[in-house]
Structure 1
Amino acid sequence: MEKIKKYTGRIMVPVLFILLLAPYLASSVIDEGGVSILAGTYLFAVLSIAWSLGAIFDDKRKTIALLQDSEGRYRIFSKYSKELVNSFNEVIFQTDHKGKWLYLNPAWKSMSGATVNESLGLHFSKHVDNTSYQDVLKAFAESFEQGKKYFRVDIKLRDAKKGSSWVEAFVKLIYDEAGKFIGTAGILSEINERKHAEEKLVSLNEHLAITSSKLSTAAQLAAGIAHEVRNPMTAILGFVKLIRDGGTDKQEYYDIIFSEINRIEQVLNELLMLSKPSGAVFLEKDLKKSCDHVVTLLETNAVLNNIQIHKNYDAEPIFIYFDENQIKQVLINIIKNSIESMPDGGNIFLSIYEQNREVFVTILDEGEGIPENSLQKVGEPFFTTKSSGTGLGLSVCFKIIEKHGGKVFITSELKKGTKIVCVFPAVQPKNLSGNEKEEERDEMVKPEK
């Protein structure tokens, strides 16, 4: 039956033509007593045309049936595809060549806090922070230069209700037939949990690096601490013997003994604070007192290397908001590096002053200096100019300073020395214009001759 349906046109059309020609054939047979050659040829030609028309009819009917079937399938596919896309937790998007949203599925609202209708037609930069926007532009530029059609980038979405959320963008670059860039399409997937885990891991690594640096510094200072403790102990033993032997002015001896004991206690307390791992506690304190403690801890170590530490600051307190343990670690690392840079001895100048809404801590040494090609790399993890260094000491210091809202400026001259300026925000800033602030800072970070 199916085969007969395929040839319906080829059968029906010739039969229709025969029925139409039946009167003509009948009159021809009656008049001439049979079918003439001309009539037979004409009949054959007509039937051939009828057969061809029937074949065309069959083909068209088959094509129409296929189209109807395809249309039905497309409608079903379109319906379920739309339902599938709308059910995704990920955002499916499309933009034009300028970066304006052309399509967003409903998941966009739960991810960004904005409705699809509110966002369509807007530039994507309206929904991301400035850092993420720069990252996207950089990824675009690299993809264009390298001829890539895909790239991935982490983006921080701004949401007025939730604050912000992290998403991973998988972006495909779309080109027309002429090779002209016409837009993008891709998927946004939420990665808040992953980002939080990464931040915790970074924080843990920084904490471990700080603790490791503290313990390493404490071990390196052991010789100086031993010497620092030995001197008071010698004095204490001497005066105890005098008392035992019946010295006359015992009160004076007692005063000296207690003074030396306090000196030992001060040094040991500083060493314990250095080696003790603890969380950051930011308090408003006098920075100069912390610097005095550090100098007390390092002074003997410096003297053993024929180095003098000169303090240059007024008696008035200078308050900043800081974690004392961490800032001490920074000062110890920097001053210790200065000591190590002067194997033949020399001077270290430590100065602290407040000016232009900021507190400046300057450490200047007379060491070997840092080559110009290495100066820009100072503070990068694992970069060091020492043969036995790890390159983590200054990297940790710079991280600590950054967490305190500060900045570091380094200038150096070979065979003359290095100057490190740490700049922190003051607790009680003085009113000064921005231009004056920049001019004085530029002057302050110049190397001293």
Structure 2
Amino acid sequence: MSRIKSDIPIFYTIIGFLLILVIDLVFWQVGNSTPTYILWSSIKSWIGFLLFAFVIYRYLVKQQQAKLLVENHDKQAILINSISDFIVFKDDKGRWSEVNNFGQKLYNLEKEDVLGRTDLEMAELFPKYFEHFKYCYDTDEIAWGNGKPIHVDELLIVGEEERLFDVLKIPMFHPDGSRKGLYAIGRDITELRKSEELLIKNEKLSIVGQLAAGVAHEIRNPLTSLKGFVNLCKENEGDKELYLKIMHNELERINDIVDELLVIARPQKVPMKQNDINKLLDGVTILMETEASIAGVSLQIHKEEKLPLISCGECQIKQVLINIIKNAIEASNADSTVTITTSATKENVTVTIEDEGCGMKRADISKLGDPFFTMKENGTGLGMMVSLKIIEAHEGTLSIQSEINQGSTVSISLPIKQTNEKN
């Protein structure tokens, strides 16, 4: 086909040349036969012919380019429609202008139902998806406001089942900064999230098992005291009011330990609530003091007062703190110190755990978080991997600095912001 297209200008050139010769001969026979007249007549004819040929050529080139664009668009459509992710393109007003087949089937709507409409309009038209489309509109505005791509989790009822999608929203702008459009690309991560939650749950149970010996030891001490004071009360010896006060304090100590253990152990959803990192650290310290004492390690806590609240899952952040502090204790020698510090900037709250242990090679630091990479004799490497995933889910960072024989420093930073609770 392209060969035929390229031959057309040659055909027009030959025909035009013949026409010019015929016209010139006619003029020479019936018109003014002076050489100057014939020359100017030929020049005008050739100029007209060349302009005509140029127009025809440009038309054919444009036609060919348009054909290639259509072919490329068809190829892209085939590719996009074969992907098992939903892909939506919206214009500068937030109106749907393109949606792939997967996205169309996902909402169980015809293209005529969605194209040309905004999320808010569809929220009113389709009450079943009201909350979903309203959330889509809000997160689109966040992406445009930030001026850069963002990831959001979106819940959608598919059939009778609730599915979770990880959605990448990519805003686009004209050179003058005005809105051009927005791409939304969503992938079903329901099964992936279930697998991650199962992994976190298993790691949590592993932590509880490892803490059991220390907790039993911590509870035995106040129980021994209680038993002694009960015997003294039976014998009516000493100040009973003082004994009862001490017994009450010991019972409170046992209750605190059991409460903290249950927070870590019990299966539960992860609501994102406003929490004080210092209070979370207090709860973790109750569990870790005994393990540190058994190892001959001292815990030193330095807390900055009146820290801003952070939005987080209490149980998950405690799980991370226990993991990191436990690693610091196990890496430390007897009679050494693990120092835990809290601080804040305008944007983040940070917990720093510093030990005086054996340290790590720089090459090994980069491998931390890889499944089954561990420096412990009986470790699995899953604890650090789970911790990194939890901090990543909270949009925070976990960084490690270490030198051989000089100890390690782990810094956990979590953003200060208000977020909607997620159930």
TM superposition score normalised by structure 1: 0.55
Does 2:282 align with 1:292? Answer: yes
Instruction: Specify whether residues 156 and 95 from structure 1 end up closer, same or farther in structure 2 by C-alpha distance, changes over 3 A only.
Output: farther
Shift of 1:381: 2.2
Superposed CA offset, 1:83-120 (max 9, x none): xxxxxxxxxxx978xxx97442796899655479xxxx
Shift of 1:269: 1.0
Instruction: Specify whether residues 344 and 248 from structure 1 end up closer, same or farther in structure 2 by C-alpha distance, changes over 3 A only.
Output: closer
Superposed CA offset, 1:270-299 (max 9, x none): 111111121111101111001011011110
Aligned pairs for 1:326-405 (under 5 A) are 326-405=316-395
Structure-2 separation of matches of 1:247 and 1:338: 46
Structure 1 counterpart of 2:109: none
Structure-2 separation of matches of 1:156 and 1:322: 22
Aligned pairs for 1:187-336 (under 5 A) are 195-196=187-188, 199-336=189-326
Superposed CA offset, 1:164-203 (max 9, x none): 245xxxxxxxxxxxxxxxxxxxxxxxxxxxx41xx11221
Q: Which amino acid aligns with 2:280?
A: S
Superposed CA offset, 1:243-279 (max 9, x none): 1110242111111001000000100111111111211
Structure 1 counterpart of 2:184: 164
Superposed CA offset, 1:330-355 (max 9, x none): 00000011111124341100000112
Does 2:124 align with 1:104? Answer: no
Contact 2:150 2:170 in 1 (8 A): no
Superposed CA offset, 1:47-86 (max 9, x none): xxxxxxxxxxxxxxxxxxxxxxxxxxxxxxxxxxxxxxxx
Contact 2:347 2:415 in 1 (8 A): yes
Equivalent pairs counted in the alignment come to 269
| Secondary structure of 1:221's aligned partner | helix
Instruction: Specify whether residues 398 and 246 from structure 1 end up closer, same or farther in structure 2 by C-alpha distance, changes over 3 A only.
Output: same
Instruction: Specify whether residues 258 and 115 from structure 1 end up closer, same or farther in structure 2 by C-alpha distance, changes over 3 A only.
Output: closer
The CA RMSD over aligned residues, in Å, is 3.3
Q: Which amino acid aligns with 2:274?
A: E
| Secondary structure of 1:311's aligned partner | strand
Structure-1 separation of matches of 2:232 and 2:291: 30
Superposed CA offset, 1:213-260 (max 9, x none): 111111111111111001101111111111111024211111100100
Instruction: Specify whether residues 232 and 156 from structure 1 end up closer, same or farther in structure 2 by C-alpha distance, changes over 3 A only.
Output: closer
Structure-2 separation of matches of 1:373 and 1:218: 30
Instruction: Specify whether residues 161 and 289 from structure 1 end up closer, same or farther in structure 2 by C-alpha distance, changes over 3 A only.
Output: same
Shift of 1:391: 1.1
Instruction: Specify whether residues 339 and 165 from structure 1 end up closer, same or farther in structure 2 by C-alpha distance, changes over 3 A only.
Output: same
> Which consecutive residues of structure 1, in runs of 5 or more, have no partner in the other structure?
1-93, 117-128, 133-154, 167-194, 429-449
Structure-2 separation of matches of 1:357 and 1:162: 28
| Secondary structure of 2:274's aligned partner | strand
Q: Which amino acid aligns with 1:164?
A: A
Structure-1 separation of matches of 2:169 and 2:280: 41
Contact 2:307 2:343 in 1 (8 A): no
| Secondary structure of 2:299's aligned partner | strand
> Which consecutive residues of structure 2, in runs of 5 or more, have no partner in the other structure?
1-66, 82-86, 89-95, 100-147, 152-166, 172-179, 419-423
Structure-1 separation of matches of 2:98 and 2:262: 57
| Secondary structure of 1:351's aligned partner | strand
Percent identity of equivalent pairs: 34
Instruction: Specify whether residues 311 and 163 from structure 1 end up closer, same or farther in structure 2 by C-alpha distance, changes over 3 A only.
Output: same
Instruction: Specify whether residues 233 and 359 from structure 1 end up closer, same or farther in structure 2 by C-alpha distance, changes over 3 A only.
Output: same
Aligned pairs for 1:181-192 (under 5 A) are none
Structure-1 separation of matches of 2:184 and 2:272: 26
Structure 2 counterpart of 1:62: none
Structure-2 separation of matches of 1:229 and 1:239: 16
Structure-1 separation of matches of 2:406 and 2:228: 44
Q: Which amino acid aligns with 2:381?
A: G
Shift of 1:163: 6.4
Shift of 1:161: 10
Instruction: Specify whether residues 130 and 316 from structure 1 end up closer, same or farther in structure 2 by C-alpha distance, changes over 3 A only.
Output: closer
Structure 2 counterpart of 1:192: none
| Secondary structure of 1:104's aligned partner | helix
Q: Which amino acid aligns with 1:104?
A: D
Structure 1 counterpart of 2:404: 414
| Secondary structure of 2:251's aligned partner | helix
Structure-2 separation of matches of 1:331 and 1:362: 10
Structure-2 separation of matches of 1:309 and 1:267: 17
Q: Which amino acid aligns with 2:190?
A: K
Structure-2 separation of matches of 1:370 and 1:314: 29
Contact 1:318 1:353 in 2 (8 A): no
Instruction: Specify whether residues 298 and 115 from structure 1 end up closer, same or farther in structure 2 by C-alpha distance, changes over 3 A only.
Output: closer
Instruction: Specify whether residues 101 and 131 from structure 1 end up closer, same or farther in structure 2 by C-alpha distance, changes over 3 A only.
Output: farther
Superposed CA offset, 1:299-343 (max 9, x none): 011100101110001343441111100000000000011111124
